[in-house]
Chain A
Amino acid sequence: KQEVTQIPAALSVPEGENLVLNCSFTDSAIYNLQWFRQDPGKGLTSLLLIQSSQREQTSGRLNASLDKSSGRSTLYIAASQPGDSATYLCAVRRVNDYKLSFGAGTTVTVRA
């Protein structure tokens, strides 16, 4: 069974600071890893998808890295803004298993 852990559970930073969100998973035989954002009471918005053959993906101020051998991914958000306040979820898909396993998320608050 794939276990996905996200640390810390919550994070509060002043505006402009860089954010570092961590995700670890127990089974390294993964197909891909996806980062999502969820606003309170809303659905999930896909941020970045990293295939198992990739080391990182970038989109604007977001950068996600993947170290499959150590079972870790890190999401970096540069120059945080109050609008970045949300819960960030990491999800991992095992090889030949199209079911995504989600972490519990990191709730981020960016203070103006």
Chain B
Amino acid sequence: EAGVTQSPTHLIKTRGQQATLRCSPISGHTSVYWYQQALGLGLQFLLWYDEGEERNRGNFPPRFSGRQFPNYSSELNVNALELEDSALYLCASSLGFQGLAGVGELFFGEGSRLTVL
């Protein structure tokens, strides 16, 4: 069974540009989470989507946005890139509110490394 897949693996942008990162959850999972892991810092929660809706949002500016598609895949957009946006962006998925077996366990992808020059 395929795990959480993320693309691209690496992305290089310049300041002011926009970046789009993609995530495909494990089959059957309806919740998708996005986390940022900057060098030397811990995992910071960005966004949580479930059944196509944004359920929760971390303390990030509005230029970080995303969406979840009907097939439960998700996209993270970062506008007006700044140097400090350079980080590993991790996507995770889990069963949503309706899942009973293994409710709450998160499974992560390998991440997308964004470098802003």
Q: Do A and B come from one complex?
A: yes
B108 within 8 A of A: yes
A26 within 8 A of B: no
Contact of B111 among A43, A89, A104 (CB under 8 A): A43
Complex interface bits, B9-46 against A, C-beta within 8 A gives 1, otherwise 0: 00000000000000000000001010100000011010
Bound together, the chains give a CA A41 to CA B27 distance in angstroms of: 25
Take A31-B104, A49-B105, A93-B104 as given contacts and tell me if A98 and B110 are in contact as well, using a CB distance cutoff of 8 Å. no
The A interface is mostly helix, strand or loop, or mixed, namely strand
User: Cβ of A45 and Cβ of B48 under 8 Å apart?
Assistant: no
For residue B107, which residue of chain A has the nearest CB? A46
CB distance from B52 to the nearest CB of A (A): 15
Residues of the B chain whose Cβ atoms lie less than 8 Å from the Cβ of A34:
104-106
Interface residues on B, range: 20 to 34
Bound together, the chains give a CA A105 to CA B110 distance in angstroms of: 18
CB distance from B24 to the nearest CB of A (A): 14
Bound together, the chains give a CA A103 to CA B50 distance in angstroms of: 24
CB distance from B17 to the nearest CB of A (A): 23
CB distance from A34 to the nearest CB of B (A): 6
Bound together, the chains give a CA A43 to CA B88 distance in angstroms of: 9
User: Cβ of A99 and Cβ of B88 under 8 Å apart?
Assistant: no
Take A43-B90, A99-B56 as given contacts and tell me if A49 and B104 are in contact as well, using a CB distance cutoff of 8 Å. yes
Bound together, the chains give a CA A32 to CA B103 distance in angstroms of: 10
B109 within 8 A of A: yes
Bound together, the chains give a CA A34 to CA B108 distance in angstroms of: 12
Within 8 A of B (CB), among A72-112: 89, 91, 93, 97-105
Residues of the B chain whose Cβ atoms lie less than 8 Å from the Cβ of A45:
108
List residues of A whose CB falls within 8 A of some B CB: 31-32, 34, 36, 41-46, 49, 51, 89, 91, 93, 97-105
Given A34-B104, A97-B56: 4 more A-B contacts, CB < 8 Å: A32-B105, A36-B108, A43-B108, A99-B56
List residues of B whose CB falls within 8 A of some A CB: 4, 6, 31, 33, 35, 42-43, 45, 48, 50, 55-56, 58, 88, 90, 92, 94, 102, 104-111, 113
Nearest 5 pairs between A and B by C-beta? A44-B108, A43-B110, A102-B43, A43-B108, A49-B105
